[in-house]
């Protein structure tokens, strides 16, 4: 199989490193024909080009590996490759979460494949595992730690009794967090991953804008301490649950007992759980990002296409729909004042902050309540009790 | 595809339940032609027979699902099925661990497949995950909690401050442990699973008798308390590690920090970890036994054969060999007396028992040392420091 790599940053060069190692079992089967680099970069290899048409119009290339990241021009290149009957493998969660239906239809029309294992939970074989579970079971629920940056921040705050800004600074120093970290800390990255996981788990495309995401931007050392006293750890969780032909999805910090598995997932690691009707709970743990783990997931997708182990599983005639009043749950809302509200069961003060423990709420009610609380204190922190 | 189920106990009836459910996505593709039951059982379904030749000689049947358990007649039936060009799916770890090379060769010669995912880690897609990881990486190390019964006993002793015999009794009441529980508590079950996992991970067959297994038969409440004070949990671990063309394997209780993931795997659950050169550490968690999880793994194997996603991966021209002086590690040996020995670094007394902390030892040295210690106290308990 002849392939081209678009982009030669962390992931692109990682894919190159794996495929060109002689010890790689498929070393003789997969040949990198071309690599797209930016016009301002030096061509360090003869197969490098800065002209996308060299790749899109090369009929020898059957598969394009998109490792550029961001929406444009990645989306444009993926679209052009599929139209030219090249399969596409990508790690690009933003492109996939926002365009999965269109791109999957395009792949199908052109008799090629679109694979994106590396987009969600990095090196963990997560999407493939959901797909496999679904061969036997209905997958009714999934949840997990899907963002390594925020897990690193929360773990560091918890271990070192640090404030959010200090822990974020460390994450940035280590290269876990970008200079603009809002996609991570506001839960946007996890939202994309929940959309992608839901597509595989429930065979249904959600509008990414429908999903509510609470991040960890407003978390304080005081919050960590308050919940630690109650024997809880805080983890940012993306999850979705299906009942009958309806499902709901949410991104929000969660409280886990300190002797649970999730509470003990350290540093920037990820863990994701699926629930099937006969298999029960399966958990998958590993590196959610990083050069070689992500590249490994990309190469696994390439091998599935190469060995014809892949199929179009996404049935876009979705018969289930998103619903924000499916399930009820209890939450804590922390602000700098006491607010009385019918949906609040109990209020506790801790170092001058007020922890409002809610009654059982639907997501819809939670949105209504947080909208009211935000008017009093924009630094509102919201967390879900599991 | 037409299949026969041998045995209609827990696993066999679970497989039947899954395949015959109309919601099962492959409901129309997989047809159960015959079920073998014992002569003394009532035939509750018209497809039931107590005559194995009805199945072996039926040319319509392409696949046999062995759910009898034990060595005989399971091995005899599997052999006959393969010789008659029927693929075999089995959950039988004892048969596979002791006969993998012969049976795999037989399958190959007859152009059929032998699959045994359910034999190791039950419902967890463990063997398939090792196989998948190996498409890209060298898998150099695996370890895990591979026996639910002993995990239940250890978790119960730890939670409830109970003695071994009380916890074992509870496990028996709940059906987790058999009346004769020696295969579980002496680590024989885990030894079989290590042999099977090693075959997939290292492409090499170990003689099951070569592997050293320390079980949990001699563990006491005193041991739990002593190590709890040092902030450790005890888990029975099966593991193997490869360096160059040599590898070692061992079954032994291990100490895990109480805030590690393994320490927080509760009840009868399993978790297994593999280490690959680009993927890093991946962990897989779920039900290691039970009717539906085990049946689920059996059905996954059937589907791989049905959809032709399976291949003969075991290369029995093994180029790596078992070695018991590859790695060094520290251990604790607990007996009722103090013994001085050059391999012991430190001795602590706790409630009248003596905890001998060793220097770094090879497996070979550990065997020599435990042989000496056993002469003084046959209730010797041995545990590995991770």
The yes-or-no verdict on residue A316 having pLDDT over 80 is: no
B129, B278, B284 ranked by CB distance to A296: nearest: B278
Residue A303 lies in a domain: no
**Contact residues for A348 (Cβ-Cβ < 8 A; gap 6+):** A226, A354, A355, A357
Give the DSSP per-residue string, B224-263.
Answer: HHHHHHTTEEEEEEEEEEEETTEEEEEEEEEEEETTSTGG
- Domain annotation covers residue A53: yes
Do residue B176 and residue B273 come from a single domain?
yes
Rounded Cα gap, residues A324 and A366, in angstroms:
10
Domain count within chain A: 3
Check: CB of residue B331 under 8 Å from CB of residue B382.
yes
| C-alpha span between B250 and B264 (Å, rounded) | 22
The whole-number average pLDDT for the span A213-234 is 98
Option in B25, B261, B287 nearest A261 (CB): B261
**In a domain? residue A110:** yes
B interface test, pick of A29, A278, A290, A296 with most B CB neighbours within 10 Å: A278
Same domain, B277 and B155: yes
Radius of gyration, CA atoms only, chain B:
22
Q: Do B108 and B212 share a structural domain?
A: no
Closest chain A CA to residue B298: A136
Q: Are residues A204 and A259 in the same domain?
A: yes
Closest-CA distance of chain A to residue B66, Å: 19
Asked if B58 and A176 touch (Cβ cutoff 8 Å), the reply is no
Which residues of chain B make contact with A287, given a CB cutoff of 8 A? 279-281
Contact of B282 with chain A, judged by CB distance below 8 Å, is answered with yes
Give the DSSP letter string of A258-297.
TTSTGGG--TTEEEEEEEETTTEEEEEEEESSSHHHHHHH
Cβ within 8 Å of B, A 137-176 = 137-138
For A17, which residue in chain B has the nearest alpha carbon?
A: B278
Q: Which residues of B touch A258 (CB under 8 A)?
A: 259
Backbone angles phi, psi at A157, to 5 degrees: -60, -40
Choice among A116-125, A224-233, A308-317, B83-92 with the minimum mean pLDDT: A308-317
Among A220, A211, A166, residue whose Cα is nearest residue A189: A211
- ipTM reported for the complex, 2 dp: 0.97
B178-229 pLDDT per residue, tens: 778 999 999 999 999 999 999 999 988 888 999 999 999 999 999 999 999 9
**Subunit contact A138:B23, Cβ cutoff 8 A:** yes
Whole-angstrom Cα distance, residue A370 to residue B265? 35
Closest CA to A139 of A282, A281, A315, A274: A274
Closest in A258, A271, A278 to B293, CB measured: A278
Please report whether residue A292 resides in a domain: no
Residues B168 and B254 occupy one common structural domain: yes
Chain B residues touching A129 at Cβ < 8 A: 125
* Predicted local distance difference test score (pLDDT) of residue A180: 85
In a domain, B295, yes or no: no
A297 inside domain:
no
Residue B96 and residue B184 share a domain: no
pLDDT of the residue at A313:
63
CA atoms of B221 and B208, how far apart (whole Å): 31
Chain B residues touching A293 at Cβ < 8 A: 278-280
Residues B245, B203, single domain; the answer is yes
Which residues, in sequence order, are bridge partners of residue A275?
A141, A281
Report the gap between the CA of A301 and the closest CA in chain B (Å): 11
| Section B279-294 average pLDDT | 97
Q: Looking at residue B10, which CATH number applies to its domain?
A: 3.40.50.720
* Range B41-61 average pLDDT: 96
Q: Establish if A95 belongs to a structural domain.
A: yes
On whether both B105 and B179 belong to a single domain, the answer is: no
| In-domain check, residue B155 | yes
Cα B175 to Cα B181: distance, rounded to the nearest angstrom: 11
Long-range pairs for B205-209: beta carbons < 8 A, 24 or more residues apart: B205/B100, B205/B101, B205/B316, B205/B318, B206/B249, B206/B322, B207/B322, B208/B97, B208/B98
Question: CB-CB: which of A124, A279, A299 is closest to B293?
Answer: A279
Residue numbers of the domain that contains B351: 328-386
Looking at B115, B139, B173, which one is the last position of a domain?
A: B115
Which chain B residues touch A285 with a CB distance below 8 Å?
261, 281-285
Positive or negative, the Cα torsion across A364, A370, A373, A375? negative
- Return all residues near A345 (Cβ < 8 A) that are at least 6 apart: A330, A357, A358, A359
pLDDT band at A142 (very low <50, low <70, confident <90, very high): very high
**H-only helix segments in chain B:** 10-19, 52-56, 74-83, 93-109, 126-134, 148-160, 164-173, 182-185, 188-202, 221-229, 291-306, 363-376
Give residue B70's region: left, alpha or beta (phi > 0; psi -120 to 50). left
Active-site residue set of B: 193
Query: What's the average model confidence in pLDDT over B120-132?
Result: 96
Q: Write b or e for each residue in B259-271: b if 16 or more Cβ atoms lie within 10 A of its Cβ, otherwise e.
A: ebbbbbbeebbbb
Choose, from A86, A193, A235, A384, the residue flagged as catalytic. Answer: A193
Residues of B in contact with A24 (CB under 8 A): 136
CB nearest A293 (choices: B258, B260, B278): B278
- Summarize pLDDT for A184-221 with one digit per residue, the tens: 999 999 999 999 999 999 988 888 999 999 999 999 99
Of A71, A95, A115, the position where a domain reaches its end is: A115
Is B132 in CB contact (< 8 Å) with chain A?
yes
SS3 B158: helix
Q: Domain check: are B156 and B214 in the same one?
A: yes
Position B318 scores a pLDDT of 58
Claim to verify: residue B173 and residue B60 sit in the same structural domain: no
* Domain CATH code at residue A187: 3.30.360.10
Cβ A5 vs Cβ A66: under 8 Å: no
First vs last C-alpha separation in chain B = 47
Residue A111 has pLDDT above 60, yes or no: yes
Interface test with A, best of B89, B121, B136 (most A CBs within 10 A): B136
Residues A316 and A333 in one domain: no
Residues B214 and B347 in one domain: no
Final residue in a domain of this structure, among B325, B342, B377: B325
Provide the shortest C-alpha distance from residue B301 to chain A (in Å): 11
Nearest-angstrom CA–CA distance, B354 and A250: 53
Residue of A nearest to B294 (CA): A279
Q: What are phi and psi of A216, to 5 degrees?
A: -120, 15
Summarize the confidence of residues A71-97 as an average pLDDT: 97
């Amino acid at each position: 199989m002849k392939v081209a790599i678009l982009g030669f940053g962390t992931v692109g060069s990682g894919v190159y490193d794996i495929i060109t190692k002689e010890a790689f079992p498929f070393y003789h089967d997969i040949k990198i024909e071309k690599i797209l680099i930016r016009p301002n970069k030096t061509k360090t290899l003869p197969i490098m080009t800065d002209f996308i048409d060299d790749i899109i119009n090369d009929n020898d290339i059957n598969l394009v590996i998109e490792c550029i990241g961001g929406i444009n021009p990645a989306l444009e290149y993926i679209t052009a490759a599929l139209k030219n009957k090249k399969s596409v493998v990508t790690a690009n969660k933003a492109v996939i979460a926002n365009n999965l239906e269109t791109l999957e239809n395009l792949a199908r029309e052109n008799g090629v494949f679109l694979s994106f294992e590396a987009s969600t939970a990095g090196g963990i074989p997560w999407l493939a595992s959901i797909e496999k579970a679904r061969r036997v079971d209905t997958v009714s629920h999934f949840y997990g730690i899907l963002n390594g940056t925020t897990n690193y921040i929360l773990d560091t705050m918890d271990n070192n009794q640090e404030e959010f800004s200090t822990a974020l600074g460390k994450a940035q120093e280590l290269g876990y967090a970008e200079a603009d970290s809002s996609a991570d800390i506001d839960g946007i990255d996890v939202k994309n991953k929940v959309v992608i996981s839901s597509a595989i788990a429930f065979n249904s495309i959600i509008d990414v804008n429908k999903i509510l995401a609470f991040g960890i931007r407003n978390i304080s050392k005081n919050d960590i301490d308050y919940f630690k006293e109650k024997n809880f750890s805080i983890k940012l969780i993306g999850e979705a649950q299906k009942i009958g032909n309806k499902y709901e999805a949410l991104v929000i910090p969660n409280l886990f007992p300190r002797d649970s598995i999730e509470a003990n997932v350290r540093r920037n690691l990820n863990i994701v759980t699926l629930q099937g009707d006969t298999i029960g709970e399966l958990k998958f743990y590993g590196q959610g990002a990083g050069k070689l783990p992500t590249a490994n997931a990309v190469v696994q997708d390439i091998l599935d296409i190469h060995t014809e182990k892949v199929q179009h599983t996404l049935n876009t005639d979705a018969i289930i729909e998103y619903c924000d009043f499916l399930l009820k749950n209890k939450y804590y809302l922390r602000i700098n004042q006491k607010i009385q509200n019918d949906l609040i069961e109990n209020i506790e003060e801790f170092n001058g902050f007020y922890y409002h423990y809610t009654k059982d709420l639907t997501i819809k009610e939670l949105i209504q309540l947080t909208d009211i609380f935000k008017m009093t204190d924009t630094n509102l922190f919201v967390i879900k009790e599991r």
